[in-house]
Structure 1
Amino acid sequence: MTDTDTITKARTAQRAALDLAQTTDEARRNALHAIADALDDNRTRILEANEKDVEEAEAMRQRGEYSQALVDRLKLDDEKIDTIAEMVRSVAAQDDPLGETLEARRLDDGLELYRVSVPIGVIATVFESRPDALVQIAALSLKSGNAVILKGGSEALHSNRVLYDVVREATADLVDGWAHLVEAHEAVDEVLDMDEEIDLLMPRGSTEFVRHIQDNTKIPVLGHTEGVCHVYVDEAADVEMATDIAYDAKVQYPAVCNAAETLLVHEDVAAEFLPAIADRYEDAGVEIRGDERTRSTVDAIEATETDWETEYGDLIISIRVVDSLTEAMDHVNTFGSKHTESIVTEDADHADVFMRGVDAASVFHNASTRFADGFRYGLGAEVGISTGKIHARGPVGLDGLTTYKYYLEGDGQRVATYSGADAAPFSHEPFDGDWNHGRLADE
């Protein structure tokens, strides 16, 4: 891909974003339903393309170039396509995030100020391995009125091409050029220079990759990095519940960023909990890496300092026995990636201390870390999980893809009236009103 190709797509997206921002929620909703229907109608075509990607990725895994986790994330099947289509319909069913009056303030009689939600503009995203991410990001961008530039990994080349074509064909009657696919590796560096055309960058990949993006662009970056997630089994935990949660958090889908990578176990429950979870993990083929106290209770490989900061994305878990809630929190805040953390306890005070004291986008009490997901949160879907703290945090849905404008409705007022010794005062009075294309709708 040449620099001209990428620039042309970005500028086309820029123009399309202005048009898309003016479409009705009904038009965007209908387009999303068309995408969902097209996924159903084209599943054979999608699965055939995905099979090519999986075969090539499996060959590279056997040569040691790809991990099993990457191959697992790459795979699509009928059930997965059903899930993707359901996700698109769920996004369509969400309330319109645009045109919402976030605040109304009367500056003076006949001078009303409104803060109203609007699209960000042009979003560019770079993601790896999971082809369903293309549809998720496209669907959320469309619903929120944003044009989007999509750059998937080469390992999902065939799948991404077909899925993009399905999305584009299904929305041909909406706004031309609202979505673009770029494929060449050098296109990433080209995109990083387009701070005049692109309003937000959303990389999904390793910490090193996200940092590379952040260090080499002037475009605001909404980073989605690794997930080093923990489950802490407190001294006041229900051990049976803790076993079920720790099993689900690791085994239900180990290749994703919200799977648990480390278990922290209070010493008072270690003798009862560790054998129970070790048996469950053994049946599921999970490799346990433990500290000295863990290894004194169950069979495990010796854990190293590197294990505490590793996202395995596989059936591997590191386990550490701790003396206190404070020690558990210190471990999480030292080695966690600010993604998702969970405490299992029947002590409400302990839960409160953990949830307030742990620095993460999502913190759970008596629940699996696997619930950290835009669809499960009721957001329709997510473009990623932001581990930063500015603009959007946690699963990023429609609200994270909007910003706002200020609209001022007047009746000939002049600043001079409010200046000088005899100036009229501002009232700055909040009121319940909605900005509706210049027509006030007081309720």
Structure 2
Amino acid sequence: MTEKTAETKVTEAQRAALGLAQLSEDERRRGLLSIADAIDEHHEEILEANERDVTAGEELLAAGEYSQALVDRLKLSASKLDSISEMVRSVAHQDDPLEKTLAARRLDEGLDLYKVAVPIGVVGTVFESRPDALVQIAALCLKSGNAVILKGGSEASHSNRVLYELIREATAELPDGWAQLVEAREDVDALLEMDDSIDLLMPRGSSEFVRYIQNNTSIPVLGHTEGICHVYVDEAADLEMASDVAYDAKVQYPAVCNAVETLLVHEDVAEEFLPEIAARYEQAGVELRGDDATREIVEEAEAATEDDWSTEYGDLVLSIKVVDSLEAALDHITTYGSKHTESIVTDDDERASRFMRSLDSASVFHNASTRFSDGYRFGLGAEVGISTGKIHARGPVGLEGLTTYKYHLEGDGHVVASYAGDDVKPYLHEELEAEWTPGDRSDE
């Protein structure tokens, strides 16, 4: 059987998107629950495929071609698969994002305008390393009524293929071709040229990779780039709390984009705080890199370079800087951050407010680990990525970020000529508390 071209797959996805947008919420929910059941029933098959990817990854790690963080992101387990199917069910039971009336306005008697949430259409995704990303993205696209083109990295090809086939078989009753898998490297360049067929691209990877996508396509791009996240321990911090937050933000799962990469500590608490947290980090195997003030207190820390402040380690490595003020912390984050997630630990609400209002990051936290920056933890069901841009979605992108809107106008033979000329008929422009339904003639 001849492999379909990327162009053919996108054409099929376009056709499927029209059908998918017309499905009821219940039909989409049933498809998602079937996906979750399929994952539960095929643990052994998935883990066998994943083992092939991990084994190959470990060989390339030994050869110096892969990082440990990349290999860690590749790994699946029975408990991880349980979490994935739980995530799919969580998405299934989210409120329906479609056909919500976002606004309603009466232009004139019998002429009502509705702004209604609808799917984007065909979403193209290019992602690396994590096989669970394929399931997350597919689940969110199905719930939001979007067809999806999935392009994973070659390092996870066996895992991606098995997961995709399970999704395709579990949703056989849905419009054929709603989810498509492309695997060849050259397919990415082909996708970038399909601005008349693909409505949105969502790359997940390094900043260089996302910039390449943005610079080589006219399709709107929702970029998920690196996470250079910060925790700032303020002079008014509860230091026990600060230790727990800073430890969790680095150690709980260091390979992900919402893990902290730089710890900023106010000089007034540095001598008390740094030895304790450094000891905790040492027990967890965290390599520390500090500025001169940090190394005077934590002798085992290596000297931080200028590059460290703008590096996403994705591993058990952390840079530390002592600052003399909240303003210095803000300046450092503004200079080196990636506008992902920042956190302040302080008991001073006014200083927390200044921190949170002064930064241009997608997520800013007070007394909480940066690891909370996640679609599932935010109650979005899951996420297709974390957008560090501002248009059209920001932060963890869930169902709402996969919708757009269109206007539905319900009239009764109205014509514009009635509102023009010397005898102008005025528009009412009255806001309505009403939901759109086809042919609605509500007098509410």
Q: Given the two structures, how large is their TM-score scaled by the length of structure 1?
A: 0.99
The residue type paired with residue 68 of structure 2 is Q
Give CA deviations for 1:379-433 in whole Å, capped at 9, x if unaligned: 0000000000011000000000000010000011110110012110111110101
Give CA deviations for 1:342-374 in whole Å, capped at 9, x if unaligned: 000000000000000011000000000000000
Cross-structure match for 2:5: 5
> Where do residues 283-322 of structure 1 align in structure 2 (5 Å cutoff)?
283-299=283-299, 300-322=301-323
Cross-structure match for 1:387: 388
Q: What SS is found at the alignment partner of 1:194?
A: coil
Tell me the CA shift for residue 174 of structure 1: 1.3
Tell me the CA shift for residue 47 of structure 1: 0.2
Q: Distance in 2 between matches of 1:285 and 1:421?
A: 80
Q: Distance in 2 between matches of 1:114 and 1:395?
A: 28
The residue type paired with residue 49 of structure 1 is A
Q: Does 1:277 find its partner at 2:277?
A: yes
Q: Distance in 2 between matches of 1:78 and 1:169?
A: 21
Q: Is the 8 A contact 1:121 1:146 kept in 2?
A: yes
Relative distance call for 1:230 and 1:328 in structure 2 (3 A) is same
Cross-structure match for 2:122: 122
Tell me the CA shift for residue 438 of structure 1: 2.3
Cross-structure match for 1:429: 430
Cross-structure match for 1:419: 420
Cross-structure match for 1:338: 339
Which ranges in structure 2 are unaligned for 5 or more consecutive residues?
Answer: none
The more displaced of 426-435 and 365-374 is 426-435
Relative distance call for 1:48 and 1:143 in structure 2 (3 A) is same
Which ranges in structure 1 are unaligned for 5 or more consecutive residues?
Answer: none
Q: What SS is found at the alignment partner of 2:347?
A: coil
The residue type paired with residue 369 of structure 1 is T
Tell me the CA shift for residue 112 of structure 1: 0.3
Cross-structure match for 1:51: 51
Cross-structure match for 1:161: 161
Cross-structure match for 1:103: 103
> Where do residues 30-179 of structure 1 align in structure 2 (5 Å cutoff)?
30-179=30-179
Q: What SS is found at the alignment partner of 2:263?
A: strand
Tell me the CA shift for residue 2 of structure 1: 10
Tell me the CA shift for residue 175 of structure 1: 1.2
Report the aligned-residue RMSD: 1.2
Q: Distance in 1 between matches of 2:12 and 2:424?
A: 48
Q: Distance in 2 between matches of 1:160 and 1:11?
A: 22
Q: Distance in 1 between matches of 2:75 and 2:187?
A: 25
Q: Is the 8 A contact 2:136 2:382 kept in 1?
A: yes
Q: Is the 8 A contact 1:362 1:394 kept in 2?
A: yes
Cross-structure match for 1:248: 248
Q: Distance in 2 between matches of 1:2 and 1:45?
A: 25
Q: Distance in 2 between matches of 1:7 and 1:298?
A: 57
Cross-structure match for 1:23: 23
Cross-structure match for 1:257: 257
Q: Distance in 1 between matches of 2:440 and 2:305?
A: 64
| Identical counterparts, % of pairs | 71
Tell me the CA shift for residue 437 of structure 1: 2.1
Tell me the CA shift for residue 440 of structure 1: 4.8
Tell me the CA shift for residue 439 of structure 1: 2.6
When the two structures are aligned, how many residues end up with a matched partner?
A: 443
Cross-structure match for 2:373: 372
The residue type paired with residue 277 of structure 2 is I
Tell me the CA shift for residue 72 of structure 1: 0.2
Q: Given the two structures, how large is their TM-score scaled by the length of structure 2?
A: 0.99
Q: Distance in 1 between matches of 2:252 and 2:440?
A: 51
Q: Is the 8 A contact 2:410 2:440 kept in 1?
A: no
Cross-structure match for 2:198: 198
Q: Is the 8 A contact 2:286 2:318 kept in 1?
A: yes
Give CA deviations for 1:231-263 in whole Å, capped at 9, x if unaligned: 000000000000000000000000000000000
